[in-house]
Amino acid sequence: MNKTLKTLALILFLMNSYSFFAQNNQKVDLQKTENQTKTTSVENHLKLDDKIAELQKQLKEIEKQKKEVETKKKNLVKSEKNLQSTKEKISRLEEENQKIENKIITASSSDEEIQKKKIKTTQNDVSIQKLKLLQITQQKELEKAMSVL
């Protein structure tokens, strides 16, 4: 019976030690799994941070492009307004010249008045020529602004 008790005690001891080692293995496996999960989580966070940074960079580039387009659009509108203003000035001066020439023809004025009116029309002609040169320049700027878009 002593042998049986000893054998039984030995079997119980072995079972306890197997149980202890099995628990330790489970703890080790659980700890490994937790470490792998943490590592994976950290890697995923880094990947997400990189992706966020990349998207922010792309967003900044898009905003920069948007500002450039808005600036180009403003330049285009400004060029169109400048060109229209110049055309209006040319028309006004041409009308003024026409009125002065009609006055010269129809009115009986002194030679001095006629000379003053002719000088005025000549000055207007010079201004018209300057404005036409300006108009050509503005048309080129407008074409350039339109080609940039």
Mean pLDDT, the chain cut into blocks of 10 residues (149 residues total): 76 70 75 91 95 96 94 89 92 92 80 86 92 90 82
Count Cβ atoms below 10 Å from residue 37 Cβ, excluding itself: 10
Tokens (6 digits) for 23: 């628990």
pLDDT given for residue 20 in this prediction = 65
pLDDT at residue 101 in the model:
86
As to burial, measured by CB atoms within 10 angstroms (0-12 exposed, 13-18 middle, 19+ buried), residue 82 is middle
Q: Tally Cβ neighbours within 10 Å of residue 86.
A: 20
Domain ranges in the chain are 2-148
| Per-residue confidence (pLDDT) for residue 104, from 0 to 100 | 81
* Residue 120 CB neighbour total at 10 angstroms: 14
Question: Are the beta carbons of 122 and 63 closer than 8 angstroms?
Answer: no
* In contact, 125 and 97? CB cutoff 8 Å: yes
